[in-house]
Amino acid sequence: MPADTKRGFSSDRLMDFLRVEMGFVKEFACSPFQVGSICPSSRALAGQLVSLARDAAEYAPLAATEGLIIDLGTGPGPVTGELLRAGISPGRIVAVERSPSFARTFRQRYRQVPLLIGDAVDLRQMLAEKYPDSPVAAIISSLPFRAIPRKIAVRILRELHETLLERGGVLIQYSYAWWMKHALSESGFSPRVSRLVLQNVPPARVEAYVAEPEYRPKLML
């Protein structure tokens, strides 16, 4: 590769990094409780999320091997980027984001990946309109439940629970709060896999859950 091309590639990546980081900080300053963090997920964290999604059928038999992988609360797209790098087809990825600013950044970076703009509490409706018959392999959630008001968190968990009961798949959630596993377990989700990611600021726990049909979410955050 010519030197000029190398410099151009490095410059493009640097500009993309700065644009994403500055956009994230700005979004956090405007809506700290919706964003939940001052910086995007690290590649190490996103990689663990993707690993659990890719192997979902191994620990959750109802997860469709070639089903949709929903990147919920995608932000500027760190998880989607790792999904693509892992060889997941863009047609299997469905990104969901409510922030217009993050949505614009995402579309600039990943034009080939479908993006649904809306709220997590309306996930089933959004999927019914665009993917009425598609099974789900995994929902990768980057939602900051510790910062979301309790009543809204309960509604979101109910929506995710019902989505998985209808379409199969697993919920993959990361959190900086150590009580999150217990909270989800008390909300109709049964844990399957748990991993600690130290290469993230702050360190985070990544966990995979299946929805139990005999329960309904009743999380009290």
Q: What is the pTM of this model?
A: 0.81
Percentage with pLDDT > 70 across the chain: 76
CB 157 within 8 A of CB 187: yes
Q: Is pLDDT above 60 for 26?
A: no
The one-letter amino acid at 60: A
Burial of 111 (0-12, 13-18, 19+ CB in 10 A): exposed
Amino acid making up residue 172: I
- Bridge partners, residue 210, by sequence: 190
CA distance 71 to 94: 6
Structure confidence by residue, pLDDT tens digits, 122-179? 999 999 999 999 999 999 999 988 788 888 988 999 999 999 999 999 999 988 766 6
Q: Which residue has the tokens 């010519």?
A: 2
Q: Could you read off the pLDDT of 80-98 as tens digits, one per residue?
A: 999 999 999 999 999 999 9
At residue 2, the pLDDT reads 41
Domain positions in the chain: 41-211
Name which CATH class applies to 41-211: alpha beta
